[in-house]
Amino acid sequence: MKTEIAKLTRKNFKSVLGRAQTLIRKGKLVVFPTETVYGLGADATNERALEKIYKAKGRPSDNPIIVHVANLRQLKLLAQNPSFFEQKLIKRFWPGPLTIIFSKRKKISNIVSGGLSTVAVRMPSHPFARDLISQAGVPIAAPSANISGRPSGTLGRHLLEDLSGRVDLIVDAGPSGIGLESTVIKIEKDKILILRPGAVTREMLKKVSGQEVVFAKSKKDLQFSPGTKYRHYAPKAKLEIFKDARALKKRLAILKKKNKKVEILKKRNLKEASKNLYRDLRALDARGVDIILAGAYPAQDLGAAIMDRLRRASMR
């Protein structure tokens, strides 16, 4: 497969948008920008197109895909009637980096839901993403644009490294704004479960909803979200996390004595760490590092999302 590359600018926005929506309608694969990370998109109502996503990424078939919508009319096509609290969160956080798990309508393919009775939906805020979904006239299923298990794509070169020859079009709009995937939540009767932390934090959800907000831990709950069942976001190098700076330095000295090629992941403020995490991990991989040592972040606010990605990336 020959992959088209389109570097998005103000001048070519409409023409690139037109090409992208045409390909989506034809059941093709389009990598497009969102405010979180790049998405690998296909028509969520086309089962053949959905199967292409799993093949391109090498993604397990029981890993659900988030469906992106441009408006609430499209949500009604996918989900049964949202609850009061779901509507409250939609009003506050959509469009934006929040994915909500809904009970799905029967006509929604089991391919996109990973065989579950639910569907994960969000409304992106990136203007190209919103216009693409709107003009294509269908909800777009889009996991992160990367080979399954690898760090998500946040720069054009990441997309080319992983997906050139696997997708029909890559729309390169520059660096992703947030740099981490969306927050995924599931609303129970008396609380909100965070299945995957992101830029919409526990503190933000609690303030808006007035409900108890907890991080899901059981496999039964986590199965409803992508990015929770398998090793994800991982560099080729082994990643080790340290809460104590002294322990990190001691480990560094030991590894250097063993002639290991080891590097320390750059420590940044939370916003910059979020934006650059996958870029930094991929850059260290490109330098042929054997082991990456990372200092821990506080596990609250955006730090919870960063630590979630680091922990999953360190799994073996």
Tell whether 59 is in a known binding site: yes
Tell whether 286 is in a known binding site: no
**What residue has token string 């700076």?**
245
**What residue has token string 């991982």?**
234
Tell whether 183 is in a known binding site: no
Tell whether 25 is in a known binding site: no
Tell whether 68 is in a known binding site: yes
Q: How far apart are CA 74 and CA 33, in angstroms?
A: 20
Tell whether 196 is in a known binding site: yes
Rg (CA), the chain: 19
> Taken in order 179, 238, 301, 247, is the CA torsion positive or negative?
negative
Tell whether 81 is in a known binding site: no
Distances (CA, A) of 148 to 53, 164, 197, 254, 256: 11, 15, 19, 32, 31
Tell whether 122 is in a known binding site: yes
Q: How far apart are CA 30 and CA 171, in angstroms?
A: 8
Tell whether 146 is in a known binding site: no
Given a contact cutoff of 8 angstroms between Cβ atoms, the answer to whether 44 and 140 are in contact is yes
Given a contact cutoff of 8 angstroms between Cβ atoms, the answer to whether 295 and 245 are in contact is yes
Tell whether 233 is in a known binding site: yes
Q: How far apart are CA 256 and CA 32, in angstroms?
A: 41
Please count the other Cβ atoms lying within 10 Å of the Cβ belonging to residue 178.
21
Which residues are known binding-site members? 36, 59, 63, 68, 118, 122, 142, 144, 152, 182, 196, 233
Which residues are known binding-site members for ATP? 59, 63, 118, 144, 152, 196, 233
Which residues are known binding-site members for L-threonine? 36, 68, 122, 142, 182
